[in-house]
């Protein structure tokens, strides 16, 4: 993909097979790491909406190596974080990272798919969040419906991802990020942009889902962020 080229007219869902390879998952874990600055927005949202003593059930969709959920468990010691990922290699790495960080009793990861979360009962979670996973949801409305189902009536959600129609500032941000990534991970990242939603597509998807009355959107230079409406 030429990063500064026009976005593809239609979504091209990225092939996920590479994430099944333990070697690639380990490389991704090393390059992304716990201190990735991209993790700050979801962590800020989560910690602002969870008091230090609140015992909440939190679901993460597509945790990869698990660093956001692990840090949340460290910052909010009363929460229980459950992460689901389609990659067995990432599930293994995430659980090992959680064990090493000392929060494996409260941050656990398992195989699962956003489009079919029947392992969870209705209204199971206080908060659901997903970081850079939306571009794999096809169709996105199916996963959004499942999020609405497993959320409690007053539950919160945060869904952030790159957008296919990012502006030149967003593309510049990606190029800066390139300096910190291996060639293979950079290639995967740029390919994944083909599967991202445009801002208009994201609005249409959530408006056509069971979350239709519960959302707001922030359109950033590189990303879109769908969150719960503030109370009242």
What is the percentage of the chain residues whose pLDDT exceeds 70? Answer: 95
User: What does the pLDDT look like over 141-197, one tens digit per residue?
Assistant: 999 999 999 999 999 999 999 999 998 887 887 777 777 777 777 777 778 888 999
- Candidates 53, 208, 228; CA nearest to 158 is 228
Q: What is the pLDDT of residue 187?
A: 78
**pLDDT of 100 higher than 90:** yes
Rounded mean pLDDT of 123-132?
Answer: 97
* CB distance 190 to 160 below 8 Å: no
CA angle (114 as vertex; 110, 119 as ends), nearest 5: 55
pLDDT for the residue numbered 1: 42
User: What integer pLDDT is reported at residue 4 of this predicted model?
Assistant: 45
CA 185 to chain centre: 17
| Banded model confidence at residue 44, pLDDT cuts 50, 70, 90 | very high
Which token pair is 17? 């097979």
SS3 180: coil
Which band of pLDDT confidence, cut at 50, 70 and 90, is reported for residue 8? low
CATH fit for domain 17-228, picks 3.40.50.620, 3.40.50.150, 3.40.50.11810, 3.40.462.40: 3.40.50.150
| Whether residue 5 has pLDDT greater than 70 | no
Q: Looking at residue 206, what is its pLDDT? A: 98
**Taking residues 20-29, what's their average pLDDT?**
90
Q: What is the pLDDT of residue 7?
A: 55
Q: Return mean pLDDT, the chain.
A: 91
Among candidates 97, 102, 99, 64, which has minimal Cα distance to 83?
A: 64
Q: Give the pairing type, strands 151-162 and 125-131.
A: parallel
At 138, give phi and psi (nearest 5°): -145, 105
- For the chain, the structural domain boundaries read 17-228
Q: What pLDDT is recorded for position 232?
A: 61
């Amino acid at each position: 993909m030429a990063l500064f080229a026009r976005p593809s007219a239609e979504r091209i869902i990225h092939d996920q097979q590479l994430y099944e390879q333990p070697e690639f998952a380990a490389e991704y874990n090393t390059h992304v790491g716990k201190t990735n600055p991209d993790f700050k927005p979801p962590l800020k949202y989560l910690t602002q909406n969870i008091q230090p003593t609140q015992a909440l059930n939190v679901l993460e969709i597509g945790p990869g190596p698990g660093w956001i959920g692990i840090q949340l468990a460290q910052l909010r010691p009363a929460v229980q974080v459950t992460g689901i990922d389609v990659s067995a290699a990432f599930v293994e790495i995430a659980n090992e990272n959680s064990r090493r960080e000392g929060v494996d009793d409260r941050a656990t990861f398992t195989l699962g798919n956003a489009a079919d979360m029947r392992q969870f009962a209705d209204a199971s979670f206080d908060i659901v969040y997903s970081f850079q996973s939306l571009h794999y949801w096809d169709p996105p409305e199916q996963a959004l419906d499942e999020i609405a189902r497993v959320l409690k009536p007053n539950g919160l959600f945060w869904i952030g991802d790159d957008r296919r129609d990012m502006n030149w500032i967003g593309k510049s941000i990606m190029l800066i990020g390139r300096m910190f990534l291996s060639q293979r991970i950079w290639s995967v990242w740029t390919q994944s942009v083909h599967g991202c939603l445009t801002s208009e597509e994201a609005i249409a998807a959530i408006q056509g889902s069971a979350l239709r009355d519960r959302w707001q959107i922030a359109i950033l230079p590189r990303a879109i962020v769908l969150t719960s409406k503030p109370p009242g």
